[in-house]
Each structure stands twice: as structure tokens, then as C-alpha cells.
Chain A
Amino acid sequence: MEKTKIKELEKVVVKFVGDSGDGMQLTGTQFAGTSAFLGNDIATFPDYPAEIRAPQGTVAGVSGFQVHIGKSHIHTPGDKSDVLVAMNAAALRANLYSVPSGNTIIIDTDNFKRKDWEKAGYDSDPLESEELKKFNVVKAPITSLTRKALEGIGLDNKSITRSKNMFALGVVYWLFSRPMDYTERFLKGKFGKKEMILEGNMKALKAGYYFAETIEALPSAYTVLPSDMEKGRYKSVMGNEATAWGFLAAAEKSDKNLFLGSYPITPATDILQEVAKHKHFGAKAFQAEDEIAGIAAAIGAAFAGDFAITTTSGPGLALKGEAIGLAVMTELPIVIVDVQRGGPSTGLPTKTEQSDLLQALYGRNGESPVVVVAAKSPSDCFDMAYNASKIAMEHVTPVILLTDGYVANGSQPWKIKKMADLDDIVPYTINSSDNAETWEPYIRDENTLARKWVVPGTEGFEHRIGGLEKDETTGNVSYAPENHEKMVKVREEKVARVANYIPDLKVEGNQEGDLLIVGWGGTFGALLTAGEEVEANGRIGLAHFNYIKPLPKNTAEVFSRFKKIVVCELNNGQFVKYLRAELPQFDYLQYNKIQGLPFSTSELIDRFTEILKED
């Protein structure tokens, strides 16, 4: 047999879409994992319905997983699909917009019967439509071919049909010259003891692979060569997982037990689940009765000496507001993670947004300053969880870490960090030079203004703290007017001084010039990619913020080096509002998107090009 010619590609975006029961998340994850394993850079974006069991075959029930793999560096899951795998009519209908004409669509024709396309809301058979002629459509009866391949191996019908996602994966593996061994290892790990299911999945995978090799509908096989990434040992990480690991690392480094008080909420739940898996590090994963109890238990644990955190999403952060105020008042170290999603209220539970920034900064009663930081990519979640922990324990203060659904569920190859290479974390606690007679609970370090973290069980240092305003040194309740004013200012100044301990703001691209793109959090990849592409039109830089309150010390200086500044956010303009208040001397342009979707590079490119043209 003549060997198919293999073409090399720089980058490719594959999107797997099907019904929420079709196993598309797994298929996508496997394709991403295999590619990462081959040395490609990858970025992924799962997109799943809010309803756990939306009616089968309807547009509401479509679940997708987008994978971007590349030889060069990849910063986003991509805008448009090079290959779309559609397992039913509804999936095609919901995703056709993302496929430019001429690209490949692989369709499971078994799920395009009249009742299927009617359920999907089509008036006529989409396979016969003019529209589809613009694409290279590979019509494959995936479901029935899977059934045929698994005939007689003794599996029940339901399990056989379930394996069709492996058939689809096999087709794509052939198309992109991927080996099957990564998935084989995965399946063995997952179904090790259930041999029949393992065999069924492997058979379906191979059947798909050989099917693709045999038919002539596929023009050629492609490959994406390994990228030029930094040398080292890698693994694939998801944002939420990386967040959990960052905290486990911080606990080990500070020689503290990790305490996580949390209540399940999408898209933050995975952090709780990940920590719960790793109790062997002494981590106490406490699933509380609600968000308030989650943070309250964390505050109690922090008071008693654990390194305590709480994780949630927007509505949960709202519930925690009063308790965060207590942590501010009592000056206890705790980290609060908010994995943002669309709001207000229950909003768009499974969709990403950056609209909790003002809540994080100001969403509490009284003057209640906390440190606010944000993670910019799945792997950056590790670093920012770690850095947030360091600030909390060294400055004895609550810290809010903002991530979002997009980075939390996205995955990326991550160059594995070694504990030895991470910065030290030295909690600010009493030591042998402290004398119980002269010590007072609210005496502060003159540089950081932190008060010492002294925990019950320490002899001679018995003391009482609480939510009432307190005397500036003794910590005894005090309503004295001047004292309150002083305390409000000192708590604010304590947070402001964190600026002396965080890195300067870095600019990607041009260091000065026509346009500075400003962003924060999970939009980093899209802004960087778009910025790089527009660069030809002008001198462009990107200033992306990990540290929001306090702002890095050189922020104003960076801003002053550019003619125009555009602040891009997935909200109605929250960071820009904050910047206008903090640094009013600059003019800020905006680009805001509020659709529960990440930025696409193309829309950013359009906007930046437009700004460069304007006078």
C-alpha cells in the first residue's frame, strides 16, 4: 500500500463536538495529551452546557472541546477550527460558525436522520445543504462502524455505543499522524480491571484509525512537529489542578498544614476535589455546609495555625464578603480563590467572565482592603496560588486570587517546577526574641506593617481578637474616633506596601511606542497573540497584570511610555474603572466583551488595527 503523504503544519485547531453524553471532553483531552506528549505546545478550551442532562440531541445539550496544537508557541485555544468533529446534527448546527470554508468536517452520519436534524432545529437535511458544500466533509457512519467493530466481544449495547468517541479519536489520530500509545496507557489506567471495556475502547480507537487510513475521503494526513519550547521535563496541567498544587507547595514550603474550607460551585469545585485527593500531605479538605462556613472554618484554622484557604466562584465570594471583612479586621493570613464566571447572580455558571474584579476589590462593608492578584494561564495558576500564599503568610493578610472558568478548565504543557527552586515562604510569627510581657497583638513590623501571627497553644501570648475595631497596639476593643481613622489607614497602607515585595510590571513586545495593550487575568494568551500579529502596523506592547491591588510600582512609568493605552477585559469595564481611579493622569481606551466567551484573536486584531489608524 502506498504510504499517504504527510504534510507539515505550523498550528492546527481541532474541535470535538457532540451530545453531552458523547464523551467529547475525554476525546479532546486525549488528543491534547498525546500532542503535548509529542512535544507540541497546546491550549485547550472545554465548552460544556450548564444543564447536566439537557435533552439528548438538542443544541442545549452540545458539549465541545477545542484543542490548539502548534509547533510554535500557542497562547490560546484558537478562534477557528481547522477540523471539526461533529457527532450529531445539533453539534454541527451549534459549531459550524467556527469553521472557515474549505476546512474539514468529520460527521457521524448515523446521527443525521430526519428526527436528529429536526431536533437540532434544521428544516431540511443539513448534509444535503448548499452550505456544507463549502467544506471538505467526511461522512462517516461512526456509530454503526463502532457497533460493527465491537460485535461479539461480549459488551452490552450501551457500552458499545459509548465507545464511538474512541472511534472518532482514532480518525483524528490518523489524520494528524498521532500514535495511539498515550491513549492506550490512559485507558489501561482507567479501565485496568474492567477488561472488556478496555478492549472495547481500544478496538474502537483502532477501528477509527484504520478506517481513516482506508477511505479516500481524507485528502492527506498532517503532522505538527514538536515545538521549540524550553528544554525540560513537562506535564500537562489544568488551571484548577495547578491552583491546588500551588497551595500544596506553599504549605510544604512554609512548613504549615494546608486547610481548605470550601463549598462546591462551578467552575471552582475541581480545586476542592484536587486537594481532597492529596490529604497525604496533611491537607485538610473540609467540605462545609455553605460558602460562609467554608471561609469561617478557614479563618478559624488560620487563627489556630494552619495555612488556610477557601475556594469559590462569584456567588460564593458574595456570601463570603462579611467573613473576608473579619479576616481583614483580625489580620489573619488566608487566601480566597474566586474562579470567575458570568454573573450577576447565578448568571452563566459554565461560561467565563472577568466581572468579579470590583467585588474582589470593594465588595465588603467598611474600608476593607485586601490584596488582589490574578492568574493569566492554566500553568500560571500554580505560580499565582503560590505567590498569593507567600503574601498572605508573610504580610499576615487576606489575599484574593482571581482566576476564571477559561484558565481553570483550560490546559497547557507545564515545565515541572521543583520545590527547591521556589521562593522561600517565611510566615511572620513570633520567635525566641519575642517577650510575652512586652508583646501586644497589634504591634507591627515597621516595613510590612504586618502584625505577628500568634496561634493558640503558644504559652504566655494568650490574647483575644475579633471583628470590633481595636486599639492600635493592644488590640483591645476601641471605639476612639482617632484610633479608628488611624487603623483604617494603617490597614490600607499595609496592603499598599505589598507593592515593595512584588515584581515590576513587564511589557511584552515593544517597550515603548504607539499602543499599549493592557489586560489582566485569563485574557493574556489572546492579547499576546493578537498583539504579536498587529505589531507590523505599529509599535505595540502588552502590559498584563498579575498584581492588581496593589498595582506594581512601575505601572505609571510603563503607561507613560506609550501614546495610547487600551484596556481589554471580559466585562463592562471594571479594571479600567480602577485604573482611572488609581492613575487618573492617563487616557484609557477600552475593549470589552461580555458574552461569556473568551476573546478571539481576530476581534482583538480588528480593534487594535482600528485604534492605530485613529488620530
Chain B
Amino acid sequence: MSENPKVEYRAKDFASDQEVRWCPGCGDYAILKSVQKAMPELGIDKKDIVFVSGIGCSSRFPYYMDTYGFHSIHGRAPAIASGVKMANPNLSVWQITGDGDALAIGGNHFIHALRRNIDINILLFNNRIYGLTKGQFSPTTSLGHKTKTSPQGSIDNPFNPGELALGAGAQFFARIEDINPKGMVDIFIEAEKHKGTSLIEILQNCVIFNDKVFKEWTAKEVKTEAFLRVEHGKPMIFGKERNKGIIQNGFKLEVVEIGKDGITEDDLVVHDAHEEDITLHMMLVNLRMPMVTGVIRSVKRDTFNERLSQQLEEIKATTKFKTVDDLLESGETWEI
């Protein structure tokens, strides 16, 4: 992709002429705005950007972007996006998906896209519910949660998307809440810059079927204390007063107060997003209070496409088959 597009874009250049049709107040609006804000900063030509989605409320997203877009079928977007990227590695490919789309029907494709590290950016809109089909529990719905198909409370163990992704070999995982526009923009930019499949879990509020499901973290009274925003190379400090931190105690992370019990900033864990070993990242994605946001893991590894191009080039350079005629005439042949 050309790093310097001919035109300087503004966010509104990425808005298509289609009317956005999510429920008023849906978290999806804020995500759309942030993506449109991040785009000009990436310096990629509009013609080289593709949004691919599955099915769900969030999957309407590509229609609203004035780029190339493909609204496909339920759960299969990772495979379609992979095909797009393999066909043309120059494209910047973004996959938009929901928790049902990615983790239920598309679970298989989701883990394989991460495993292959094919260099697409996956934005997982996690509202812990099926929005489009009007309110059934999803693979991220909490145990005991009442929904239309779990009127007595869900008895399904939920997935933690970050844990699943790291287990599947994800080399880039970030998490962010939909009420943090600036945070989203930064992360989208980082995700695109990362060479490899990037997964961003966005805690997205569905006002209609699962309103305030993240209120434990996002409610006004608590939100300044409930999120730990990690940054590579920085100690893990959080809280309105910036007086809380994280230390490692055996195989667990623990919340401590700076200044109490002789704890100083030096005792805190310093975030290392680039560490190949996933132990720390696993602990971070599993922490519940505070909820860890930011880029939790970002490790450079060969992408599938790099290997594919390299293999194709090597084979082309060494083969005796230059055209299909050479192939057809090869092997045992005879004259009649």
C-alpha cells in the first residue's frame, strides 16, 4: 500500500453515503467514528483499504466506510479476509465481527486466522449478546445472565476472548472500551502498524438487549478506578489518583496501593508487550478488576503472507516450469 496517499484525508472522507442504522445510543457509533478518525493517520490510500464483516449488528460496518467493503455470511469473515489478503498483500484488511459471529459460528475460522498470523486487523465488538437476532446469550455472556434464550440464567461457561486468542497463537491482542474514543484511535493505529493478525476486543454496549453489561467498569462512579491501561515499558499504575498498581505474586497479579505497606513504584510490574512468553499476557487478559485495556501483547513474528510470498518467489526462481506449456509437456510423453 502506498504510505503517502495522494490526498490528505480527513475522518469524514471515510464516511460513505449510506445512512447509519444502529439503534440510537449503540456503542457501534463511537467505534465507527474512531475508525474513521484513525484512518487518515495511517496514511493509506482509500483504494487499498478493505473492510470485511460477517453477520450481526456490528457487521453492517463496511457499508458505512467509503472504502472497499464486503459484508459476508455469519462467522466466515476471517476466512474471506484471509483470502483477500492472500490475493493482494498490499491491501490493508480489516475484519469487523461480533462475539457471536467470531466466537460461536465462526470460532474455528477465528482461531485459525490468529494461528496463521495472516496480517489482518480484527475488531471484535464484544457486547456479550446477540444483537441482530434480538437478545440471545452469546459465547461471552456471563454465567447466570438472563437473556431471551436463558430466561433462568445462562449455564454456558463463557469464553474470555483474550484468553482464547492467546491460546490460539495471537501475536497482537488489545482491549479497549467503546467509551474511550482516544484510546480506540491509538489502538487501531497500533494494530495496523503491527505486521501480523491483530485482535482488538472492544467492550461494546448494546443499549437494547444488554444495556450496561459492563457497568461494573464503565459506570461513571467507577470507571476511573476500574480500568488499567497498560503501555509497553511502563509500570502498571491506575486509578484516578494514580496511586494503585499491580505486582506479581507467584502466578497471580495483585492490586496494591502505592505508599501503603512500603510499596513503591519500583515494586510494580513493568509491562512488556513484546515478550514472546505468554504468561504475563495471559494473567493480564484474565484480570477482572481492574479490567486491563491497551495493547496487552504485540510480538513480531513472520506473517503467513510473508512466508507465502517468499515461498512463491523461491519456487519461481528455481523451477524449470516457466509456463503451463512446460508442465503439460513434462514427464513421460510419446509420439503417435
Q: Which chain A residues have a beta carbon within 8 Å of chain B's beta carbons?
A: 33, 36-37, 39, 182, 185-186, 226-227, 229-236, 245, 248-249, 252, 257, 259, 261, 278-282, 284, 286, 288-290, 292-294, 296-306, 308, 322-323, 325-326, 330, 416-419, 455-468, 476-477
Contact = CB atoms under 8 A, between A and B. Distances in A.
19 contacts: A37-B332, A37-B334, A233-B334, A252-B323, A279-B312, A284-B312, A292-B109, A293-B78, A296-B73, A299-B72, A299-B80, A300-B85, A300-B86, A301-B87, A323-B73, A326-B73, A416-B329, A466-B69, A466-B72
A464 B87 CA distance: 18
Interface in B50-105: 50, 52, 55, 62-63, 65-73, 76, 78-88, 90-91
Nearest to A299: B80
Contacts of A458: 47
A19 to B, nearest CB: 28
Interface in B289-336: 308, 311-312, 315-316, 318-319, 321, 323-325, 327-329, 331-336
B84 A304 contact: yes
A466 B332 contact: no
A33 to B, nearest CB: 7
- Pick the most buried of B73, B78, B333: most chain A CB atoms within 10 A of its CB: B73
Contacts of A419: 323-325, 328
B177 interface: no
B329 A466 contact: no
A477 B328 CA distance: 46
Interface residues of B, number: 58
Interface string B3-17: 000000000000010
Nearest to B83: A300
Contacts of B157: none
Contact of B71 (A186, A282, A416, A467): A467
Given A248-B324, A416-B328, A456-B47, A292 B79 contact: yes
Given A280-B315, A305-B87, A468 B71 contact: yes
B103 to A, nearest CB: 15
A462 B325 contact: no
B108 A462 contact: no
B325 A418 contact: yes
A303 B332 CA distance: 38
Contacts of B55: 467
Contacts of A279: 311-312, 315
A254 B333 CA distance: 27
A301 B334 contact: no
A466 B70 CA distance: 5
Contact of A233 (B71, B84, B323, B329): B329
Contacts of B333: 233-235, 416
Contacts of B73: 296, 322-323, 325-326, 467
Given A278-B321, A293-B79, A457-B47, A182 B316 contact: no
A300 B84 contact: yes
Contacts of B87: 257, 259, 284, 300-306, 308
A68 to B, nearest CB: 18
Contacts of B37: none
B108 A235 contact: no
Interface in B159-210: none
Nearest to B45: A459
Nearest to A332: B70
A297 B86 contact: yes
Contacts of B16: 464
A252 B71 CA distance: 30
Closest 9 CB pairs of A and B: A300-B83, A466-B71, A296-B79, A297-B83, A464-B69, A280-B319, A304-B87, A300-B80, A293-B79
A465 B336 contact: no
